[in-house]
Amino acid sequence: MDDVKERFSFIPDRIAGLGELSYNLWWSWHPAARMLFKMLDRQIWKECRHNPVKMLRELPHEVLETAAGDPEYLRHYDAVLARFHKEMNAKGGWFSENIADPECLPIAYFSAEYGLHHSLPFYAGGLGFLAGDHIKECSDLGVPLVAVGFMYPEGYLRQKIRSDGWQENVDEVLDRDAAPISRVLNEKGEQLVVKVPFIEPPIHVAVWKVQVGRIPLYLMDTDIEINDPWNRGISAHLYIGDIEQRLRQEIVLGIGGSEVLDTLGIKHSVLHLNEGHPAFAILERVRERVEEGISYNEAVQHVHSTTVFTTHTPVPAGHDVFPFHLMDKYFGHYYPILGLNRDEFLRMGIQSGDPDAGFNMTAFALRMSAYHNGVSKRHGEVSRRMWQSLWPDTKEEDIPIDSVTNGIHVPTWIEPKMQLLFNKYSGPDWLEDHDNPAIWELIDDIPDKELWQTHYWLKMKLINFIHDRARQRWVENRISPTNIVAGGTLLDPSALTIGFARRFATYKRADLIFHNMERLKKLLNNRWRPLQIIFAGKAHPADDPGKRILQRIFNSAHDPALGGRIAFVEDYDEQLAQYMTHGVDVWLNNPIPPLEACGTSGMKASLNSVPHLSILDGWWIEGFNGKNGWAFSGKGNDEEDAEAIYELMEKEIIPLFYKVDDDGIPHGWVKVMKEAIKSTAPLFSARRMVKEYARKFYQNALKSAGA
């Protein structure tokens, strides 16, 4: 990466590797590598929000000079860099031993969003983190993969809550030069710009790269001068509301993304589509084969046998459907290239039960892929029912939609202090073998006191973080003291603390616990055994019902009758998700079933010893074992579901939390914490998940590809 060397020419030679390291997100899931930056200057590291590229640019040069002459720093530097280079150049690994020769042509992974780190805000929620965790794990396991997506330079909506509780969004434009992304250069040394084929007037994309361990992620940016204004905005935000612009966005993602790989000379063997948004990539694979001279049917057969498609949502509005007149407008000239007439083409995307609805991206992707799955067992069932009409002669249980339950990238989501504790009692190799349930039995060896103290420390860290943010808002924006209270200044580290943080989609029912206000008040205001709840999350800018739910919670947060025991923390992002899933006592989840396809934040909490209290939906149907948290089976009726939560709170959760033994430790509670770690960490890891994708789908698809 010459671009990087040039940008960091001021770094002393002895520690020049910091430049390369800062551009590889490998640092983000290796605490020793993060420490290498933090050691340079803790305050600047914090102010740069843990973004090493920004930090290296802003650091006084003397600091780097000093570090380059400091034996202690150099010792640490050499150790981290040696490990980094060893892992980047490693050839073997799980994939080569179990699946296929890693020298085969890579798997191309397409996703509309990626959640990797808070310095790269290219995500809206769970789908993005799933994609990010997937590619990090592919790097760890040595899966040959190349990823494609968008950069969304204005994608980050900084959330500010007005004094009346209404969410406002302040657009924040990404400073491309201060983010850990680099320009992909052409042979002339200029940034590579690719023209999206088959669309007139033309659309161009500038190509950027994020290195995620061993996996390259190519990002497209349409905000460049050569594009007209209408086209510049295509990749400005995630999921544009206007249907035509959305179609253009998905054409750029699928067809433009394929062209980017082609231009870079990257051939791929297998295509994995994360959700239907990038499904037009399938068309390009078919077209290439037809142009090589084989028949359309043969081309489809080949593409079909080498395509994996993961569907992520049972919410009907989550599946894009484009009207036929727009399909004609943008694909009219594409039909004959494939040797198809209009009807034959459009038929690929119709829903059998409702053929006039339009071109459905999920139906299209399901028809054109041999391997497809939902993201939990329950979501597999729901998807088989939902898409049964595509296989009219097949019984529901035989519909060929499989399931691979989501998992989280353990090195990313484990809190470093918790990791040290696990190292101490499970041996330093636990991380290497973390999808093996047997390893986790050793969690029982952790003395209750040590786990409890570590957890308490993380709770303090969360509350301090929230106080810090509130102080900043107070000083910078001079908002009213009531709103500062709503932001969490009265939080009390000794009170039982529930966390609820996720996108404020209405089906997630963030305000369910307010259903019976009197009953909730009693729990919050109990003098001896108080409860407090920390909320965070963003409503989609166009989602007024979601914003009303948020407003209701925010207004409760500054209602003195609730005693300052409700907090709403603004601007939920990856960093706040880390603090919250590590630091609360219980993680709450109460969507309307079966609309939570899987859910992953509860996994992040459980891994860090925070038990899950959830309705039986998504992953919790598989995850709950009676001892590792709490569950209730609801039907989506607010009255009954809220009742179930109060019951569990009053009868089980609150008494258990406050049952402290003579040594000051709630041993009964700690037992649940340990069980949460043990039972969920191996099974709901991205390691188990990627291995399952590889064994169920990638291996066979690679064989079909002749790899």
Ligand X SMILES: *Cc1c(COP(=O)(O)O)cnc(C)c1O
* Interacting residues toward ligand X by CB under 6 A: 125-126, 129, 502, 572-574, 577, 599-601, 604
Residue 499 CB neighbour total at 10 angstroms: 25
Q: Which is nearer to ligand X, 303 or 577 (CB)?
A: 577
The region, left, alpha or beta by phi > 0 then psi within -120 to 50, assigned to residue 599 is left
* Shortest spacing between CB 576 and ligand X, in angstroms: 7
* Cα 112 to Cα 82, 239, 567, distances in angstroms: 34, 8, 32
Give the pairing type, strands 114-115 and 121-122.
antiparallel
| Beta carbon of residue 618, minimum distance to ligand X (angstroms, whole number) | 8
Token digits of residue 438: 């047997």
CB 390 within 8 A of CB 363: yes
Q: Which tokens belong to 702?
A: 């690679």
User: Measured from the CB atom, is 307 or 589 closer to ligand X?
Assistant: 589
Q: Which element (helix H / strand E) includes 526?
A: none
The least CB distance from residue 202 to ligand X, in Å, is 35
Min separation Cβ 308 and ligand X, Å:
21
452 or 504, CB closer to ligand X?
504
* Least distance from ligand X to the Cβ atom of residue 595, Å: 11
Using DSSP's 3-state secondary structure scheme, residue 109 falls into strand
By beta-carbon proximity to ligand X, the closer residue of 570 and 573 is: 573
Q: Which residues contact 429 (CB under 8 A, 6 or more apart)?
A: none
**Number of CB atoms found within 10 A of residue 11's CB:** 21
If the CB atoms of residues 426 and 600 are measured against ligand X, the closer one turns out to be: 600
**For ligand X, the closer CB: 413 or 698:** 413
* Smallest separation (angstroms) from ligand X to the CB of 156: 12
Radius of gyration over every alpha carbon of the chain, rounded to an integer in angstroms: 25
Q: What is the rounded CA–CA span in Å between residue 497 and residue 531?
A: 6
Picking from 607, 630, 647, the residue whose alpha carbon sits closest to that of residue 516 is: 647
Q: Which is nearer to ligand X, 330 or 619 (CB)?
A: 619
CB of 574 to ligand X, least distance (A): 5
Smallest separation, CB 573 to ligand X (Å): 6
Q: Tell me whether residue 573 or residue 641 sits nearer to ligand X (CB atom).
A: 573
Cβ atoms of 234 and 253 closer than 8 Å: no
Instruction: Give the H or E element holding residue 367.
Output: helix 361-367
Q: Are strands 307-310 and 156-161 parallel, antiparallel or unpaired?
A: unpaired
Beta carbon of residue 193, minimum distance to ligand X (angstroms, whole number): 32
- The three-state secondary structure class of 137 is helix
Smallest separation, CB 508 to ligand X (Å) = 7
Token pair for residue 21? 């390291």
Coil/strand/helix, residue 212? strand
d(CA 653, CA 656): 5
Q: State the minimum distance, in angstroms, from the CB of residue 223 to ligand X.
A: 24
Name which of 114 and 364 has its Cβ closer to ligand X.
114
DSSP 312: -
Q: Which is nearer to ligand X, 359 or 620 (CB)?
A: 620
Task: Retrieve residue 239's tokens.
Answer: 């999921």
Residue 165 or 537: which CB sits closer to ligand X? Answer: 537
Q: How far is CA 86 from the centre of its chain?
A: 27
- Rounded CA-CA distance 150/221 in Å is 6
What one-letter code names the amino acid at 211? Q
